[in-house]
Structure 1
Amino acid sequence: MRKLFFYTKQQFFNFKAMQTAAGFKLLSMSQLLSSQKVGELNKNQKYYVDLSSVMGYTKTNDSQQMLFEQLFDSFGENIDFICDKMYEEDIKYIFRYIFDDFSDVDAASEEIIAEKETIIETPSRKRRIVDLNDKELDDFFKVFDASLYGHERFKEEFKKLVTAYRVFNKIGEHKILSLFLMGDSGVGKTEVARAIHKALGSRTKLAKVNFGNYSSHDALNSLIGSPLGYIGSDGGELLKRIQESDVGLILIDEFEKADSAVFNYFLDVLENGKVVNSQADEYDVNGYIIVFTSNITKENFRSKVSPELRSRFDYKGMFNLLTDTDKKKYVHFRVNQIISKYKEFVSEDIPDGLHDRVVCEVDVSKYKNMRDLNKKIKDTFVKLIGA
């Protein structure tokens, strides 16, 4: 037996956007009215099939009920079902031998989203991990897990960290959840922040500061602004990026390129939960997650970063290269994602078997860096879409 989810008209487009970001593809049942069509679906792709379009037909054609019941046996475990809530009463009865569990989707209506957008600049309204209820937290981890490939051990440890952090933040004993991720370029460190950003449902840019763009001698001034009285004095990049974001997340990239003054500054931020710039403007980042990334080795980490700052990081971990199995899963996911976007924004007309052809041409064993692998996927797609 299967589960059916109901959505309202006001929820549909936000639900679609959220599930597409999580790797799902939405189809209408009208596109799948034969077992042959169902059999052609990609078993590596997750789908939501919308039954709304066939409800009017089945209501007036009782003889078709048996055919639909037989057709549902063709669907695999990678397929879930949704329907417009206006058909709730009818579908529960008509498909009573197909579904035994019914639930409403968890997606805000467009009116609620619009209301939130009008007050997005208010610091207390930023979406933080500590503010999510249990259902929202469960959805957060679903999107996070789907957005970050491999690194399964880290995912489990991250869930435990978040669970403990939410408890101790509420009783005032843990202001910021800080992650320090080490490893070679392209192994997925920055993707952790992007996955959190997506899972929190952000509609703005990720608040990111990259110390690779600074020279060491002016890093702190670039971060928090020059002291008052200096020509061109401003509030600095960090506060600007925080104010532009709608979620409680900051990414500090290439942290090893900062100097001791910056290290001491972040020691204070992690301890007090406040960002202060050179103009004495203060911003409360209590409840935030800060992800620090670095290409530094474990050995250099101890010599470069002071014991006081090291002890402030809630998680310190080395990210290794993905296995070939994880890379293959990523290729399947990425190709499906590109094809879905291409159909939505460019054209529904794509060559037959495009997904499998792209996957076959990408030899994951040749790529250690995920950026290089992603480039190969895109280059292969462009070549075959025009073939």
Structure 2
Amino acid sequence: MKLSNYKHLQRIYVYDSIQLIKSYSEKRIVSIGELLNDYNGLTIFYSLEKIKEKVKKENIDFIDISSLVEIVNFRSDMILQVEILFFKLAKFYDGNYCLRSDCAFILDEKVPFIFKKTIPLEEQKERLEAEMDEIDVKSISEIVDNINSELIGHDIFKNDFKKNLLKYSFLNNIGNRKILSILICGESGIGKTEFAKIVSKKMYPNEDLIKINFGNYSTEGVLNSLIGAPLGYKGCEEGGELINKIKKSKSKVILIDEFEKATPSIYNFFYELLEDGVFTDRHGNRHDLNGYIIIFTSNMTQEIYQEHIPNSLRSRFDMVYYFENLQYDEKNYYIQKNAKKLINELEQNYGKKVNYKNIESELARLVVYENLRDIKRKIEDIVFDEFFSKYF
């Protein structure tokens, strides 16, 4: 297969001014030299696995190949090596390539069959902005509406969430905001954790939600549990829970549950992460979480929040909300929706139909409860009591 048959090798973007490059987020454009291990004058050394890991972690949009093209200008015997390198990159990297305009004629002369078309980078910038207007506003609005339709109640929060996610999309696209952080407080069982599950399911439907529960950690060594122990310590080779789960799931939604049990070392950790979108583990490895949504949940009251969470961390949350207990009509809707859903699933899987009318009045009495988890279990009990009557 010819290299030019790869869609993302059809074109390369050419720039005149370094200022144009700097106008993009620092992590979106890297030099090809950052991806290579070494060059000894005869051979280019590189590890495809390391390159693959780097472009994935850092969300790279452009690879600048100017330095490599300059080498080829003086070393024509290296053309084959360069062509092979691009052939291998094309197997896993589907981002863009860019080049200084003064190197464009060298590319056309020395390796004319890799890229079929050169485009000024300014045109790429305009295309990205046009896509942002279409995708971020239309598609993201639709996703948020689907998320909000799943979450029962909390209407003020849902309206604010839509505005903040849209704003974040624009700011993230121009490199001004790396992470969207949301802290939701309130009593247990009123939708805090459920919201995070809905967001992950709607945005990344085939991926597991990345969930960290600080209630499972002891106060001693909590940071080690999160991002791994330092070299030389017991368990240092295992990594931390956050790192391991990020590697396993492509979801970019992280749930931090029971945040009230965090320690000062955890606060310090999130200072860097929420501000810069990156964190460094105990082995010195840098992890880029640009584009992630982190949802913190806690049972803290407003008074405890003010006393317990440092000002420097409070200022880094994009949204802070307190979920109140659902209203009567909201709980009634929740009960009806979940009961009918369970009835339908039982019929589809076991072929036995539960008559909703037979249990409607009993279900209606569940509105006196506040905890949605308790309500959901009681819905199951009522539905199954009627379901089991089909067998006896």
Q: How does 1:1-387 map to 2 (within 5 A)?
A: 122-123=56-57, 124=59, 133-233=136-236, 234-344=238-348, 346-351=349-354, 354-362=355-363, 363-387=365-389
CA distance in 2: counterparts of 1:298 and 1:261, whole angstroms? 22
- CA distance change for structure 1 residues 281 and 132 in 2, over 3 Å: closer, same or farther? farther
The one-letter code of the counterpart of 1:177 is: L
Q: Residues 239 and 275 of structure 1 are in contact (CA less than 8 Å); yes or no, is this contact kept in structure 2?
A: no
TM-score (norm 2): 0.63
CA distance in 2: counterparts of 1:374 and 1:356, whole angstroms? 18
The one-letter code of the counterpart of 2:361 is: C
User: What is the CA-CA distance between 1:287 and the residue it aligns to?
Assistant: 1.1
User: What is the CA-CA distance between 1:383 and the residue it aligns to?
Assistant: 0.5
CA distance in 1: counterparts of 2:190 and 2:321, whole angstroms? 13
- CA distance change for structure 1 residues 339 and 232 in 2, over 3 Å: closer, same or farther? same
CA distance in 2: counterparts of 1:230 and 1:306, whole angstroms? 30
Listed one character per residue, the Cα deviations across residues 20-68 of structure 1 (whole Å, up to 9, x for unaligned) are xxxxxxxxxxxxxxxxxxxxxxxxxxxxxxxxxxxxxxxxxxxxxxxxx
User: What is the CA-CA distance between 1:147 and the residue it aligns to?
Assistant: 1.6
User: What is the CA-CA distance between 1:254 and the residue it aligns to?
Assistant: 0.3
Higher mean C-alpha displacement, 291-300 vs 166-175: 166-175
User: What is the CA-CA distance between 1:122 and the residue it aligns to?
Assistant: 4.5
CA distance in 1: counterparts of 2:352 and 2:366, whole angstroms? 28
- CA distance change for structure 1 residues 210 and 340 in 2, over 3 Å: closer, same or farther? same
User: What is the CA-CA distance between 1:142 and the residue it aligns to?
Assistant: 3.2
User: What is the CA-CA distance between 1:135 and the residue it aligns to?
Assistant: 4.2
Task: Report sequence identity in percent.
Answer: 37
Higher mean C-alpha displacement, 364-373 vs 133-142: 133-142
User: What is the CA-CA distance between 1:343 and the residue it aligns to?
Assistant: 2.8
User: What is the CA-CA distance between 1:337 and the residue it aligns to?
Assistant: 1.6
CA distance in 2: counterparts of 1:328 and 1:314, whole angstroms? 32
CA distance in 1: counterparts of 2:274 and 2:330, whole angstroms? 34
User: What is the CA-CA distance between 1:186 and the residue it aligns to?
Assistant: 0.6
Q: Residues 143 and 203 of structure 2 are in contact (CA less than 8 Å); yes or no, is this contact kept in structure 1?
A: yes
Look up the SS of the partner of 1:251 in the other structure: strand
User: What is the CA-CA distance between 1:272 and the residue it aligns to?
Assistant: 1.0
User: What is the CA-CA distance between 1:198 and the residue it aligns to?
Assistant: 1.5
CA distance in 2: counterparts of 1:358 and 1:293, whole angstroms? 34
What is the aligned length? 261
The one-letter code of the counterpart of 2:375 is: L
Q: Residues 190 and 324 of structure 2 are in contact (CA less than 8 Å); yes or no, is this contact kept in structure 1?
A: yes
Listed one character per residue, the Cα deviations across residues 157-187 of structure 1 (whole Å, up to 9, x for unaligned) are 1001011111111121111110011101111
Q: Residues 176 and 287 of structure 1 are in contact (CA less than 8 Å); yes or no, is this contact kept in structure 2?
A: yes
Look up the SS of the partner of 1:167 in the other structure: helix
CA distance in 1: counterparts of 2:233 and 2:135, whole angstroms? 42
Partner of 2:99: none
User: What is the CA-CA distance between 1:366 and the residue it aligns to?
Assistant: 2.2
Large movers: runs of 4+ above 4 Å: 121-125, 130-135
Rg comparison, structure with higher value:
2
The one-letter code of the counterpart of 2:341 is: Q
- CA distance change for structure 1 residues 277 and 340 in 2, over 3 Å: closer, same or farther? farther
CA RMSD of aligned residues (A): 2.1
- CA distance change for structure 1 residues 215 and 284 in 2, over 3 Å: closer, same or farther? same
User: What is the CA-CA distance between 1:348 and the residue it aligns to?
Assistant: 2.8
The one-letter code of the counterpart of 1:357 is: N
Partner of 2:65: none
- CA distance change for structure 1 residues 186 and 132 in 2, over 3 Å: closer, same or farther? farther
Q: Residues 235 and 279 of structure 1 are in contact (CA less than 8 Å); yes or no, is this contact kept in structure 2?
A: no
The one-letter code of the counterpart of 2:311 is: P
CA distance in 1: counterparts of 2:177 and 2:204, whole angstroms? 23
Q: Unaligned 5+ residue runs, structure 1?
A: 1-118
Q: Residues 215 and 261 of structure 2 are in contact (CA less than 8 Å); yes or no, is this contact kept in structure 1?
A: yes
CA distance in 2: counterparts of 1:174 and 1:347, whole angstroms? 49
